Structure 1
Amino acid sequence: MTTQYDDLFFRTNLNDHGEVPAPPLAYESPDIIPSGIYPISKPQDYFASNYDKDVGQNLVTGGPNYIYLRTKNLAQGAEGGTVSLYYTPASLVLYPDRWQKNQLKTSDQQTEVYIKASKTNDIAVTDNPFVWEPSAISNDHYCLISRVSTSKHPNDIPVVGSYSDMTDFILNHPGFGWRNVSLTDVNAPTFDTSVFYDQKSDAGRMVFQLECTNVPGGASVAFSSGTPVTDGKHIVLEKTTVPDNEGSWNTSVTCDVPAYYQTNIIYSYWANGTKPPLGFQLKLKVMHYVDDSSRFFHRLHTPEQLGATPELARMMRGKRGIVLGTHVTVGR
């Protein structure tokens, strides 16, 4: 005999509608969603609209994987709570003592993300994804375990000391989800680098510029952060091929960043069969431009002096800027 759960829950598979005990096939949750190496714009709208589908992807080895969680609200009325995500190398039985200390974090280093559904049957999705760069694991896969905690159901991780306890855990705890995930090296970067960014107390329009020195044409670059800035937007440059150049090329994105925003930005490089020459260098810069009303204006540089692309130079015409910080990766 089954009963209906009455809170935020993760499905075990697409045929799960919140019954307790849950249906079998526990390791296929479509609500743990590895979405690839870039964050999704407006994830609430996107993942709520395809709730009837499993849109999860394989994990990319050695690259940033952005992982979203979604729940359905079976409570009577609004409901909110925090979600968290764990991982473990595959095991025939996923006893909690194997994974409960392996907690994944978001780009801004949070281990819990608040979600809220405004009414019964609403889908609640994380706006701030978890990010993970999994190591290659030979002839095997990883398992991801999600958890949602609400005031009604805190869903503390239980002590499981027997297969009977594990059976109860799988069948009677809809606040947990389970998903086996495979690895692929398709689109895996040659390397990537993570750097911390802190906006402090001034909100502003910031330019994030990636400078490529002695980077061969045909190679590719990208950078991203999962922490949303404004209106569901992210700091993200999708994979871009470096054109044939005479030693120096750059590209940039511009974002309105709120005060006290913090995140980790990951910038990535794909050799694509090329060989970096001597002097290879990637430099991530953050810059800010001001107009002539600023007291700093006459002491700053023109967009051209800062190496702006023609598009950025047009956008910043009449303004001057400063490089507030850089992070460099140098080839060997």
Structure 2
Amino acid sequence: MSTAFAHDAAPALPGTASTYDGLYLRDNLKSQGTLPAVAPFNACPDIIQSSMPVADPQKTFGTVSSWNTIYPISPAPGKNYYYVRGLNGSSEDFEGQISLFWTPAQLILFPSTWKNNPLLTASGSEGVKVQAAPGFVGVGNDGFVLDTGTVSLSNPNAFYSFVAQNNAAPIPTISSWLEMSQLLTQQLGIGFRNMMTFDPVTGPLLARMGFNIPMSVGESATLQLTISTQGIPAGDNIGVIGDCFTPEMKSILLQPIKTTGNSYVAGIQFDVDPGFNSSVALQYWNTSGLVPAAGSTLTLSVNYVVPQEKYARALTLGVLDSRYAQAAPTVDVGPQQIAPVGQVTFVVAAST
């Protein structure tokens, strides 16, 4: 099955929240450690890139102003230093370690895509020490090093994805789509940074990312792949194309479509099996003649359409998205329960 749809975006509804008990990494700047988490799930501001080593990471990145800042993470040529922090949401002192992983761009960050790619510190350690009193921010005492001179992307239209982990909890093995949704939306001991900046003036955006489903996810699924815009002018064009057909011999394809407002959603729906390996390209054309403001976004999201027989389990895990399906009735797709499983955001860069 492959179904297309488009409409103006609707906000998510708030759910009943609880507080994450432990050192947590935020999903986004608005996150306060409450569960269920609120989208975006891929904008962790607690992963920080620096072109130079930082002498006192705690002093530099543990301030209130730093806590309210989201830093660029795209690596510059040569050595890059990445620092990770978290807030202690428990009632006891925290002392432990945080690790940082990288992978060439992935649409869904299954642990199998990044767990074997730890970044190391300059001294060769896979983890950094973090200490924090209850309610305080703790910053890793050393930087993880990514050297683009020795590790580089083979595709110029791809980018890096980063995942930070509080080592107090092990990296899970994902055996179902609901477990992947739970990892993305409920496990604040793991932070995802899956973003890329771009300049809409220099030419069309073309961004490629892997779309790999491990065999350990032992079930087929109906997925929604949506593009949502914020601040992108009406009259611009967006499209998505995959490089492999689905098991049903259907294409993963959203034909270029013109946005009708600066808050807009378009997408497709299709079926996949465990072991499906592909890549997906997002393309954007600034055809309106209006330049989007810095900070405007295009977000590519993947949602698992939850079968009726799994509603109860999804509700127990707290992963159901209150917006339901981003589907228009004109294409014969009614409201469905969905669970987020992946998200990538493309942010318009400030003019230089």
2:103 aligned with 1:88: yes
1:39 aligns with 53
Residue 157 of structure 2 aligns with an amino acid whose one-letter code is N
Q: Aligned in 2, Cα 1:24/1:183: closer, same or farther, shift over 3 Å?
A: closer
Residue 54 of structure 1 aligns with an amino acid whose one-letter code is I
Residue 59 of structure 2 aligns with an amino acid whose one-letter code is D
| Runs (4+) off by over 6 Å | none
1:166 aligns with 180
2:34 aligned with 1:19: yes
Deviation sequence 1:79-120 (CA, Å, 0-9, x none) = 111100111111111111111111110000000111101x21
2:165 aligned with 1:147: yes
Match of 1:161, SS state, is coil
Residue 60 of structure 2 aligns with an amino acid whose one-letter code is Y
Match of 2:62, SS state, is helix
CA RMSD of aligned residues (A): 1.7
1:121-200 matched pairs, under 5 angstroms: 121-134=135-148, 135-136=152-153, 137-149=155-167, 154-182=168-196
2:71 aligns with 55
TM-superposed deviation, 1:10: 0.1
Q: Distance in 2 between matches of 1:182 and 1:43?
A: 24
Q: Distance in 1 between matches of 2:84 and 2:131?
A: 12
Match of 2:117, SS state, is coil
2:100 aligned with 1:100: no
Match of 2:67, SS state, is coil
TM-superposed deviation, 1:181: 4.9
The higher relative CO (CA closer than 8 Å, separation ≥ 6) is in 2
In 1, are the aligned partners of 2:74 and 2:160 still within 8 Å (CA)?
no
Q: Distance in 2 between matches of 1:32 and 1:174?
A: 13
Give 1:120's match in structure 2, choosing from 115, 131, 134.
Answer: 134
TM-superposed deviation, 1:52: 1.0
Give 1:8's match in structure 2, choosing from 9, 23, 48.
Answer: 23
Q: Distance in 2 between matches of 1:123 and 1:162?
A: 33
What's the TM-score, normalizing by structure 2? 0.48
TM-superposed deviation, 1:53: 1.0
2:43 aligns with 28
Match of 1:88, SS state, is strand
**Which sections of structure 2, spanning at least 5 residues, go unmatched?**
1-15, 199-352
In 2, are the aligned partners of 1:59 and 1:182 still within 8 Å (CA)?
no
1:79 aligns with 94
1:263 aligns with none
Match of 1:59, SS state, is coil
Q: Aligned in 2, Cα 1:29/1:75: closer, same or farther, shift over 3 Å?
A: same
In 2, are the aligned partners of 1:60 and 1:183 still within 8 Å (CA)?
no
Aligned length: 177
1:190 aligns with none
Residue 27 of structure 1 aligns with an amino acid whose one-letter code is N
What's the TM-score, normalizing by structure 1? 0.51
TM-superposed deviation, 1:155: 1.5
The share of aligned pairs that are identical, in percent, is 30
Q: Aligned in 2, Cα 1:181/1:107: closer, same or farther, shift over 3 Å?
A: farther
